[in-house]
Structure 1
Amino acid sequence: MHYYSTYDLIVESEFQLPELPTVEPETATIDVAIRSAEVEPVPDSEGGTGRRRIQAEPGICRLSYDSIGSFLIKNGAQILFDPDHDGIIEKKITRRLIESEILGVLCHQRGLLVLHASAVSVDGKGAVFLGDRGAGKSTTAAAFYTGGNGLFEDDVVGIRFDHEGPVVLPGVPQLRLDPQAAEALGITDTVRYEDDWGPNKCYHATGNAPAPAPLAGCYILQEDEGLTIEQCTGQEAFVSLVSQTYAHGLLADTQTERDHFQQCSEIVETAQIRRIKRPKNFERIPELIEQVTEDVKTC
């Protein structure tokens, strides 16, 4: 078995997941088990997007991916994987699915707010970046990382609700970037995988992830000619959080809509929700980092 830490959980996995931080099994209390097992594929008649089909109910979710296999996620504690063929678990795309979509669903089952976002540590607090696809969430997080800030996540952000308030959790210590963005930011230690899916991306391991940190604010990225940070209204902030929910399509089937909306409302009440308007070029990144850092200090 292999033992890892992610989202402040200890994972015991039958498969190697080298992107995740390892832990010593002697001191580990297992939160999540990942195993190989027979999983009934999701029928073709079920809805899905692209190569994925999904079927969910409270505490249980099945996902089937063409040419990869089927996953069963149970009660936020168990992930079963039935591979389509031998050797597929060793492919980068399979590990990426486990470390993003599958763990994202598992975190949702455990009661976390899971956002399609990136997050960094700034002044000991969590800053989360939201936006539409292509808005620059990963690039913005990478810019903060190169400036000396710890990376929580660049794709699937998990937020836990403690007595003290929302807490940002460390996910996968890895950046997935457009090669041109990595070059512009001076990130040279990157790897590209031929067995990956989607757009041409390169990967960079960021090393040790920061410890869980209180959420300071969420920043919605928007392209503009100037560089400004504006406060969002309560309704605008709430809608932005709901729209960036990672498990948005599962809320009704898993009967978690009410809890989810309460979580979004709590973040609106306890954290700053800002809109960052900035040009999508690299010349003003130092200014952006400075402004966000100063803003986080006031939260």
Structure 2
Amino acid sequence: MAYRYWIYGLCLETAYRFRTPLTVAPATATCNLRFLCVPGDLGGSDGDTAVPPSADALYLSQERNWCGEHVLEIYATADGRLMRFPGVADFLVSPGRIVCRLHDAELGFMVDLCLLGHVMSYYLEMTGVSALHAGAVVHDGRAVLFAADRQGGKSTLVTSLVAAGFPLLADDIAALELSAEKVLCRHAFPQLKLTPQQALRFVGSAEGFGLVHPDFPKLSVPADRVGSIATQALQVARIYLLERRAPDDADVAIRMEVLGPGEALIQLVRHSFLAEALGEHGTVGARGGELETAVRVRFQRLAAIARSMVVKRLCYPSGYHHLPEVHRAVLADLGEAQGVERQAS
């Protein structure tokens, strides 16, 4: 049986049953990406993902697993880009098609994590769409993005905004495209990754939700349990870079700082979902000229986004009780932006 889903602006067709909540696409939608998942060992039939001897190593992550292997390896092959998660799964990425070979059926939960995260981000980047490590909500018909480092408060702030009536556009990866000199953010998928404490606060219960990963506490919570969902690509109104301060920090006041285009570009590169992997593509591998061109085009795309957008640093104090005040500050800032646009039109 074939299933069709909307994900990052693409209609994905697959026989694979995802554990993650996804937006169903109508049967009449034109499929532009197919996903095949084949359990079992490497080697053999259609979609073979064994590394050929002639493959160029494009990226080997510094982070290693418990066996001492690179957590992520990327190779250039004649059939496409091979993304290997040693001991877990391999993904062969080519235009319109992604093939996965799962090493161990007991690791099936990793298919969702790898595909919907690193693999789809890589696919987007290779097709001219920038993938930022950011959440996105909708205000007045436009997308508002929030980017942060790990433990930076992004999930808490985004979820609190969804609970306050702002439809969710993306939870963890914001897919940005340039269209007619506008920056659009595509719909990702209707999931919020919450800790039990966050689920208890925003949903009322932490019961009945599966773990995103068995070794980590975050739960996979359908976004409609918290608020509404937006499924169309929307023009981006703002990108906020979050700096959550500890309650005992001397400077805990909510403040915003506009970043110049140069600093905004640096931060967009830094907050790219695959910043490290994509940053090395111009220097590793025999196909250096081709890869340097891809990196240059990606850099130019991010520079164009930085020039087209207002990017602000948003500093605010930690704590649930401060969130309403943060909401008001964001709304006031967006209201000022709309006022300027009306005066200019």
> Is 1:162 aligned with 2:144?
no
Using a 3 Å threshold, how does the CA distance of structure 1 residues 229 and 210 change in structure 2: closer, same or farther?
farther
- Post-superposition CA distance 1:135-182 (Å, at most 9, x none): 011111111110111111121110011114110111011010222233
Query: 1:250 aligns to what?
Result: 278
Query: What letter matches 2:88 in structure 1?
Result: I
**TM-superposed deviation, 1:261:** 1.8
Out of 64, 72, 75, the position equivalent to 1:50 is 64
What percent of counterpart residues are identical?
A: 20
Query: 1:82 aligns to what?
Result: 101
Using a 3 Å threshold, how does the CA distance of structure 1 residues 66 and 56 change in structure 2: closer, same or farther?
closer
Query: 1:279 aligns to what?
Result: 317
Query: 1:117 aligns to what?
Result: 134
Query: 1:227 aligns to what?
Result: 254
> Is 1:260 aligned with 2:298?
yes
3-state SS of the aligned residue for 2:72?
Answer: strand
3-state SS of the aligned residue for 1:71?
Answer: strand
Query: 1:63 aligns to what?
Result: 83
Using a 3 Å threshold, how does the CA distance of structure 1 residues 145 and 194 change in structure 2: closer, same or farther?
closer
Conserved 8 A contact 1:190-1:203: no
Q: Distance in 1 between matches of 2:64 and 2:230?
A: 32
Query: 2:35 aligns to what?
Result: 34
- Post-superposition CA distance 1:164-218 (Å, at most 9, x none): 4110111011010222233233453665435725531112111443421101111
Query: 2:123 aligns to what?
Result: 106
Unaligned 5+ runs, structure 1: none
Q: Distance in 2 between matches of 1:33 and 1:287?
A: 44
Using a 3 Å threshold, how does the CA distance of structure 1 residues 119 and 270 change in structure 2: closer, same or farther?
same
**TM-superposed deviation, 1:6:** 0.8
**TM-superposed deviation, 1:50:** 3.2
Moved over 6 A (4+): none
Using a 3 Å threshold, how does the CA distance of structure 1 residues 229 and 187 change in structure 2: closer, same or farther?
farther
Larger radius of gyration: 2
**TM-superposed deviation, 1:87:** 5.3
Conserved 8 A contact 2:91-2:100: yes
Q: Distance in 2 between matches of 1:12 and 1:189?
A: 32
Query: 1:23 aligns to what?
Result: 25
Equivalenced residues, count: 294
More divergent stretch after superposition (201-210 vs 27-36)? 201-210
**TM-superposed deviation, 1:129:** 0.9
Conserved 8 A contact 1:122-1:149: yes
Q: Distance in 2 between matches of 1:29 and 1:50?
A: 39
Tell me the C-alpha RMSD between the 2 structures. Answer: 2.4
3-state SS of the aligned residue for 2:112?
Answer: helix
3-state SS of the aligned residue for 1:117?
Answer: strand
**TM-superposed deviation, 1:30:** 0.9
Conserved 8 A contact 2:35-2:98: yes
More divergent stretch after superposition (53-62 vs 240-249)? 53-62
Query: What letter matches 2:60 in structure 1?
Result: G
Using a 3 Å threshold, how does the CA distance of structure 1 residues 42 and 295 change in structure 2: closer, same or farther?
farther
Give the alignment's TM-score, normalised by structure 2: 0.78
Using a 3 Å threshold, how does the CA distance of structure 1 residues 140 and 209 change in structure 2: closer, same or farther?
same
Unaligned 5+ runs, structure 2: 38-46, 66-70, 246-251, 282-290, 339-345
Q: Distance in 2 between matches of 1:188 and 1:97?
A: 27
Give the alignment's TM-score, normalised by structure 1: 0.89
Conserved 8 A contact 1:191-1:204: no
More divergent stretch after superposition (285-294 vs 193-202)? 193-202
